[in-house]
Amino acid sequence: MAGGFSPQLLEEIRARVDIVDLVGQFVNLKRAGENWKGLCPFHAEKTPSFMVHPKKGIFHCFGCGVGGDAFGFLMRQDRLQFPEAVRVLAERAGVALPTERRTEGDGQREALFKTMAQASEFYQDALWNRPEGEGARRYLDSRGIAPEMARRFVLGYAPEGWDHLLGFMKGRGVTEEQLVQVGLVLPRQTGSGFYDRFRGRLLFPIKDGQGRVVAFGGRAMGTEDPKYLNSPETPLYVKGQTLYAFDLAKPQIREKNRALVVEGYVDCLMAHQHGFTETVAALGTAFTASQLGLLRRYCDEVITFFDADAAGKKATQRVEELLEPGTQGLAWAVNRTGTFGDGSALRLKVALLPSGHDPDSFLRKEGAQAFTQRIGEARSLLAYAVETAIGEENTTAPRGKATAFARVALILAKVTDSQEATELARDAALKLGVDPTQLWIEAQRLQGALRKPAPATAPAPAGVNLPSAERDLVSLLVQNPDVRAALLPVLVEEDLAHPALRAILAALKTVTAESPEALMPHLPGDTERGLLAALLVEERAWPDTTPLIAEYLKRFEMRRRARQIRQVSQAIAQAQASGDPALPQLQAQLSDLQRQAEELRELAARPN
């Protein structure tokens, strides 16, 4: 997998990259001794089992088994090919890469990122440096958006006209096919050719977690329809998996342990302008479970904002969007020890704004202090939804009471926070005048009906179902340099049966590396990297290795003799069938090998 990069270059990049800092951009890490721990970004879990080991420069999840180094993490997190991950980390570490190292096709995705970056530069130039951007600049001023904030969010302007961007990008050598791929141009309805998607609009670049432009949101500055025109989904951009301003907000989300979620681009800018830099926008009214999962890696609390008049309806809708049936049983059921089964559920809250206000208008009218007060008064989103479900029904009538009971039970059936679920059930039962146990039983029944079937095969952690003797041997090799020096010259791949262990052995034998951690880029796949990470983090206390080495040397010598005996026996059978005159020499060689093998067995049987 080293992709044509020298081991020395890869090791230099790996050594310069702070893996805690890198992973910490995506995972809310907390110190655990010499290492760092957090919720795994690659599978759903409630108890942190994802570890980062700064001294070794690796990560490993004890839950799903994934593991690797900085290159492997970035490949998984951002879905990059190995050469792309190397280039990203080399730039981050300030390491120059050989300019001649490029293979056809490995830069296609990188070329699309470059196309989006060039388009963003074009739009920024049109906003700030061209006469046609004057109207957009006046619009920003009318909305109270400070120039420095607009520049921080790299806002731009798409000039009126059909092919301004198209002509500019062609002059930069960008093909029409690439522009179509990233959604910047559209085919003409009549005739041939293409035209600019965005025309006469203020543009909000949408970036990924690495700060790379992946899409644009275009706002009309007059009465044009639609009010907002957004990029389509592309190879770089999936709407429901991206949050606007997430790249800028991540540090503050982690520091404050909360995220503020608004709906619009301007809402988000205005929040940042007033000091609420932990704010992101959901890129539309729908807030997806994927976006929530992204925030969950960085914080324990998410606060969203509703207009007071529409709060009940929106709260219920948001609960439906975010609470999906799971594959497990009732997640908040009390276990046999009397404690709850989860301890790190994300808290979802709703902050109410006065009727007719959104965060943008409220901040401009009332200011940051009033906004802070609204945040402090935020209530549980689930509690608000339950309250709305009860309040919308006539609970004095049997039918209304039954309907409210069913609606509340359906909400509870999707709750994963044990503490909150218990409180909600108790409060709702009190308002409905029913036994809390009834709600509990009905929610459990509904969850069973809603439950999604579990995947047929769940990913097994690396290291499961490995031959224990082989695993111990490779673990000893990666953790002890003296053992490597003594055993690698005599070991062959045939000494190991498990394919992943064989791959690690092959890398140990063929790659010149200062440490086993540096082998990560040279392993063929995720399974092998995860297994190597698992072996490296074990930190087993080995006894005196001298007798172990001697024992392994005798064992491998016996295996080598056995292989030779099999090979010579096969040669004898072929010689007998063909009348080969070399048969006597082969028979003599076989007798000699059998004698040597017997001597080795006797030697191995003697007490040390």
- CATH number of the domain residue 14 falls in: 3.90.580.10
Q: Which helix (H) or strand (E) holds 35?
A: strand 35-38
pLDDT (0 to 100) of residue 196: 97
pLDDT at 606: 59
Largest Cα–Cα distance in the chain? 106
Shared-domain flag, residues 208 and 259: no
Given a contact cutoff of 8 angstroms between Cβ atoms, the answer to whether 562 and 499 are in contact is no
Which pLDDT does position 206 carry in this prediction?
97
Picking from 198, 193, 50, the residue whose alpha carbon sits closest to that of residue 116 is 198
> Which of these three, 450, 467, 491, is where a domain ends?
450
Residues 274 and 419 in one domain: yes
Question: Residue written as tokens 């059909």?
Answer: 162
Shared domain for 192 and 270, answered yes or no, is no
In a domain, 503, yes or no: no
Cα Rg of the chain (Å, integer): 31
Do 283 and 428 share a structural domain? Answer: yes
Alpha-carbon torsion 478, 484, 489, 491, what sign?
negative
Of 90-94, 299-303, 420-424, 486-490, minimum mean pLDDT range: 420-424
Q: Please check whether residue 188 is in contact with residue 194, taking contact to mean a CB–CB distance below 8 angstroms.
A: yes
Q: What is the mean pLDDT of residues 238-250?
A: 90
In a domain, 63, yes or no: yes
pLDDT of residue 105: 44
Query: Closest Cα to residue 273, out of 297, 301, 243, 245?
Result: 245
75 plus 119 within the same structural domain? no
Q: Is the alpha carbon torsion for 391, 395, 399, 404 positive or negative? A: positive
Residue 103 has pLDDT above 70, yes or no: no
In the β-sheet with 228-230, what is the strand arrangement from edge to edge? Answer: 156-158, 201-207, 213-219, 228-230
Q: Is residue 170 part of a domain?
A: yes
Report residue 586's pLDDT band, with 50, 70 and 90 as the boundaries.
confident
pLDDT the model gives residue 330: 35
Q: Would you say residue 289 lies in a domain? A: yes
- 164 shares a domain with 51: no
Q: Which two tokens stand for residue 278?
A: 């932990």
Q: Cβ(385)–Cβ(411) under 8 Å? A: yes
Query: Are 277 and 425 contained in the same domain?
Result: yes
Same domain, 278 and 341: yes
Position 317 in a domain: yes
pLDDT band at 114 (very low <50, low <70, confident <90, very high): very high
Q: How many domains does the chain have?
A: 4
Residue 115, burial from CB neighbour count under 10 angstroms (0-12, 13-18, 19+): buried
Specify the pLDDT at position 214: 95
Nearest to 217 by CA among 235, 242, 193: 242
CA distance 120 to 213: 8
Mean pLDDT for the stretch of residues 370-398? 90
pLDDT digits (tens, 9 = 90+) for 157-208: 999 999 999 999 999 999 999 999 999 999 998 888 999 999 999 999 999 8
- Residues 225 and 363 both lie in one domain: no
Task: Examine the domain organization and report whether 275 and 405 are in the same domain.
Answer: yes
Average pLDDT over all residues of the chain? 83
pTM of the model: 0.67
Tokens of 458: 């769940």
Average pLDDT over residues 86-93: 88
pLDDT value at position 345? 60
Per DSSP, the three-state class of 302 is strand
Centre a 10 Å sphere on the Cβ of residue 38 and count the other Cβ atoms it contains: 22
Q: Could you tell me if 187 and 218 lie in one domain?
A: yes
**Alpha-carbon torsion (440, 442, 443, 447), positive or negative:** positive
Retrieve residue 18's tokens. 């702070």
For the cut 50, the answer to whether the pLDDT of residue 341 exceeds it is: no
Q: Which two tokens stand for residue 86?
A: 């190397």
**pLDDT > 70 fraction of the chain, expressed in percent and rounded:** 85
Give the model's confidence band at 604: pLDDT under 50 very low, under 70 low, under 90 confident, else very high.
low
Q: Which residues contact 152 (CB under 8 A, 6 or more apart)?
A: 248, 272
pLDDT at position 331 over 50: no
* Distance, CA of 242 to CA of 82 (rounded, Å): 23
d(CA 27, CA 294): 9
Q: Which pLDDT value is given to residue 462?
A: 52
Q: Which of 303, 291, 205, 203 is nearest to 248 (CA)?
A: 205
Q: Is residue 378 part of a domain?
A: yes
Is residue 507 assigned to a domain?
Answer: no
Q: Are 244 and 265 in contact (CB under 8 A)?
A: yes
Q: What is the pLDDT of residue 413?
A: 82
Determine the structural domain holding residue 37 and report its residue range.
Answer: 7-93
Last residue of a domain, one of 403, 434, 450: 450
Mean pLDDT of 123-127: 98
DSSP string, 372-393: HHHHHT-EEHHHHHHHHHHHTS
Which has more pLDDT, 20 or 290? Answer: 20
Torsion on CA atoms 401, 405, 407, 413, rounded to nearest 10: 180
Confirm whether 534 is domain-assigned: no
State the DSSP string of 466-499.
Answer: --HHHHHHHHHHHH-HHHHHHHTTT--GGG--SH
187 & 305 share domain: no
Question: What gap in Å lies between CA 311 and CA 172, rounded to an integer?
Answer: 49
Q: How far apart are CA 60 and CA 41, in angstroms?
A: 11
